[in-house]
Amino acid sequence: MSLVSNIKLTFPPRQPRSFSKFFFVLCLLAITLFNAVDLIKTVKDVYMFKKVLPYQNIGYKFAGLEEFVKGEEIVGYYTDNDLNQQEHSKQFSHAQFILAPTILDLNNLEHEYIIFFCSKESVAWQEMEKIGAAPWRRNQFGVILARKDIFANPGSHF
């Protein structure tokens, strides 16, 4: 019993010895200095990067389409790319960001408006033919905004 009480009495931890304190402060200073050097390098890298590419361009491949889907709550988004691959899912996210608040319904061809972002433009044309849609707008990057009932009101949107 007395041993147990002795252990309890010594439980409150001692303050760190001055040597270990000094050692840790020294480590701390060294790491902080290394970090400062790394941060300066980062700043230089950012400066060089901004010289080459002054703007971050998100969703530029879908540029110009936002004004044509304005007011539409949901549009379809068709792609033959594998969205499990990071680069392709990134393009879908780009499209959603640039076209928000319009919602993109992935690979749903039931909507009136459908965005075709395919590996080849010929794939998009084949799909449009299958579902009876026609291209309504196409931007310089080959992204097509198609409309399904375009033949019902020919010429009304050109």
- Beta strands (DSSP E) in 31-157 are 74-78, 103-106, 113-116, 134-138, 144-147
Number of residues that bind other proteins (CB under 8 A): 43
Q: What is the closest distance, in whole angstroms, from the C-beta atom of residue 97 to other proteins in the complex?
A: 5
In terms of CB distance, is 47 or 158 closer to other proteins?
Answer: 47
- Beta strands (DSSP E) in the chain are 74-78, 103-106, 113-116, 134-138, 144-147
In terms of CB distance, is 77 or 150 closer to other proteins?
Answer: 77
- Hey, what are 2's tokens? 């007395």
Cβ neighbourhood burial of 102 (10 Å; 0-12, 13-18, 19+) = buried
Task: Give yes or no for residue 29 binding other proteins (CB under 8 A).
Answer: yes
Chain position carrying tokens 């931007």: 139
Q: Are 137 and 64 in contact (CB under 8 A)?
A: yes
Q: What is the closest distance, in whole angstroms, from the C-beta atom of residue 123 to other proteins in the complex?
A: 21
- Contact with other proteins (CB under 8 A): which of 81, 88, 92, 139? 92
Fill in the per-residue mask, 33 to 72: x = in contact with other proteins (CB under 8 A), - = not in contact: -xxx-xx-xxx--xx-xx----xx-x--------------
Q: Are 117 and 96 in contact (CB under 8 A)?
A: no
In terms of CB distance, is 24 or 141 closer to other proteins?
Answer: 24
- Can you give the binding site for other proteins, defined by CB under 8 A? 11-13, 15-16, 20-21, 24-25, 27-29, 31-32, 34-36, 38-39, 41-43, 46-47, 49-50, 55-56, 58, 73-74, 89-90, 92-93, 96-97, 100-101, 103-106
